[in-house]
């Protein structure tokens, strides 16, 4: 429509628009694909599948944008109209950004550096969380059940340690049971996470021994005599006692279960795992011991979440920068294009750190999506600015034209995406709600960075790729001639300019 408003024929407008959009659409499509494919580094299979199929969808959309839309525009009747830019709130807002960048580019760059430093510090405060209570609201039935367990019982959190003697009746050894009792005492008195209660085969033996001595508290211990220990266990089973949860039927292996409050966070659980493992390594070198259950799982999940986040972030950012550098034939262009991404990621994670919003399995995808979609704004802005700068040879005029044309599209796109992801704020699942809020914020921040930081850098340093040809001129002219000759055959009668103008255009081509 912009080309039509300049008085060009529909055929010529379609050709020139298509040729002009091949580069930015290809770059934005490929960088978005790279961003979503970086989710293949995730340890969660659903996220891997999401990244793969979304990337395929973006690829199909990119191809259709370059092939189907120009074909439809070439056969559909389109009324010519002059392009008018309304002086509404959007134009005024974009004009304000353009004025600030044009007159104070150094201040914009300095402010960007300050933001990087401040929010970079905030990223150091980001915490990883895998606790169920963090994902659900206080009114959720699961959370309410956990609270009941915490208030009236020993808690819903569990630290479980398995002991395997690898021989029949090995767990009946009094010396081993006495060591297990000491381990339980250490668990309940150690600093850090408060263990409210422990359960094990050793506890059963101690209770039976006390019962057979008139409930004398001094006999709450494991007897030194192996035969007496075996008899106590035999009597317990004869009375209908169930040891199924404490030991195997042949007494070759058993477990210790420690209960704690569900309010314990993932970081505390990780520290508990480290402390328990250190104690076991020191005091049970001759026994095969392994910590299992939710406490160990929390530690494993946290390390994998951090690793996946770092890997996905670096993969997406490097891939996006390389794609831009290759297609623009300028390493500088590639580096400039990722500056808004750095700002966006640091601000997003900095806010998460300052506000205490956890990094969990839901918010794990933020960086990949932010890079995949957010870099599109930088690419479109840089491509349009390069075109205008080559035409005007004046950075301020190029900036004004870019902001009032491509800038409007970027603004509309960012607002639409922010509102779309903002719907997730109404989710009852807290992780999904946080994800929607963070993604909506990254879309807006990416657009703002494209309006401010990138043009400030371009105005100040005027990198060579602004004037260098990204594609060989001969190839462009040849491709354009071929495209024109092919489109002549599909041009509907009366849809183009008058015959005299068409003939003149054909002769010139």
Q: HEC string of 420-446?
A: HHHHHHHCCEHHHHHHHHHHHHHHHHH
Domains of the chain: 4-124+300-488 (1.20.1640.10), 135-292 (no CATH)
For residue 141, what are the contacts with CB-CB under 8 A and spacing of at least 6? none
> How many C-beta atoms lie closer than 10 Å to residue 192's C-beta?
12
Which residues does residue 259 pair with via DSSP β-bridges, in sequence order? Answer: 158, 197
Residue pLDDT tens, the chain, 509 long: 666 666 667 778 778 878 877 877 888 888 888 888 888 887 778 888 888 998 999 899 889 888 888 888 888 776 655 555 556 677 788 888 888 888 899 999 999 999 999 999 998 888 877 777 766 767 778 888 888 888 888 888 888 899 998 888 888 889 999 999 999 999 988 888 888 888 888 888 898 888 888 888 888 888 888 888 888 888 777 765 667 678 888 888 888 888 888 777 777 888 888 889 899 999 988 889 888 887 887 777 777 777 777 888 888 888 888 888 887 888 888 898 888 888 988 998 898 889 888 887 777 778 788 887 788 888 888 888 888 888 878 888 888 888 888 888 889 888 998 998 888 888 877 778 888 888 898 889 999 998 889 999 988 888 888 776 544 434 444 444 444 444 444 444 444 444 444 444 444 43
**pTM assigned to the model:** 0.69
In three-state secondary structure terms, 15 is helix
DSSP structure class, residue 158:
E
* Torsion angle defined by CA atoms of residues 364, 365, 368 and 372, in that order, rounded to the nearest 10 degrees: -160
Cα separation, 455 vs 462, whole angstroms: 10
In three-state secondary structure terms, 376 is helix
């Amino acid at each position: 429509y912009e080309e039509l408003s300049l008085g060009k024929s529909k055929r010529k407008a379609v050709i020139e628009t298509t040729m002009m959009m091949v580069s930015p659409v290809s770059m934005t499509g490929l960088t978005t694909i790279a961003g979503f494919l970086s989710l293949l580094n995730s340890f969660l299979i659903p996220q891997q599948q999401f990244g793969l199929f979304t990337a395929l969808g973006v690829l199909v959309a990119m191809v259709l944008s370059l092939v189907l839309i120009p074909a439809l525009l070439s056969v559909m009747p389109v009324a010519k109209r002059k392009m008018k830019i309304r002086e509404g709130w959007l134009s005024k807002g974009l004009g304000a950004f353009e004025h600030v960048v044009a007159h104070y580019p150094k201040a914009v760059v300095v402010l960007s550096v300050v933001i990087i430093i401040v929010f970079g510090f905030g990223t150091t405060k980001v915490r990883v969380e895998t606790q169920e209570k963090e994902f659900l609201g206080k009114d959720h039935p699961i959370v309410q059940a956990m609270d009941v367990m915490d208030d009236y019982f020993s808690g819903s959190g569990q630290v479980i340690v398995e002991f395997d003697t690898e021989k029949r009746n090995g767990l009946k050894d009094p010396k081993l049971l006495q060591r297990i009792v000491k381990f339980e005492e250490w668990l309940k008195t150690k600093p850090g996470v408060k263990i409210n209660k422990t359960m094990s085969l050793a506890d059963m033996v101690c209770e039976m021994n006390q019962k057979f001595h008139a409930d004398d508290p001094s006999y709450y211990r494991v007897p030194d005599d192996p035969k007496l220990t075996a008899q106590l266990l035999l009597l317990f089973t004869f009375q209908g006692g169930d040891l199924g949860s404490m030991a195997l039927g042949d007494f070759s292996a058993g477990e210790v279960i420690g209960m704690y409050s569900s309010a314990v966070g993932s970081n505390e659980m990780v520290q508990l795992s480290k402390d328990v493992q250190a104690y076991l390594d020191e005091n049970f070198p001759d026994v095969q011991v392994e910590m299992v259950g939710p406490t160990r799982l929390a530690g494993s999940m946290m390390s994998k979440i951090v690793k996946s986040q770092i890997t996905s972030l670096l993969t997406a950012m490097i891939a996006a920068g390389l794609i831009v550098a290759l297609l623009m034939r300028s390493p500088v262009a590639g580096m400039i294009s990722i500056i808004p991404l750095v700002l966006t990621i640091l601000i997003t994670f900095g806010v998460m750190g300052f506000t205490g919003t956890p990094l969990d399995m839901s918010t794990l995808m933020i960086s990949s999506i932010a890079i995949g979609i957010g870099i599109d704004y930088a690419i479109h802005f840089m491509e349009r600015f390069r075109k205008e700068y080559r035409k005007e040879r004046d950075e301020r005029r190029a900036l004004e034209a870019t902001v009032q044309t491509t800038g409007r599209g970027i603004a509309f796109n960012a607002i639409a995406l922010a509102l779309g992801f903002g719907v997730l704020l109404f989710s009852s699942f807290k992780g999904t709600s946080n994800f929607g809020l963070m993604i909506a914020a990254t879309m807006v921040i990416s657009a703002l960075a494209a309006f401010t930081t990138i043009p400030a850098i371009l105005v100040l340093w005027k990198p060579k790729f602004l004037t260098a040809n990204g594609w060989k001129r001969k190839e462009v002219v040849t491709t354009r001639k071929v495209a024109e000759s092919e489109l002549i055959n599909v041009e509907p009668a009366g849809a183009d300019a008058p015959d005299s103008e068409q003939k003149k255009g054909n002769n010139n081509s």
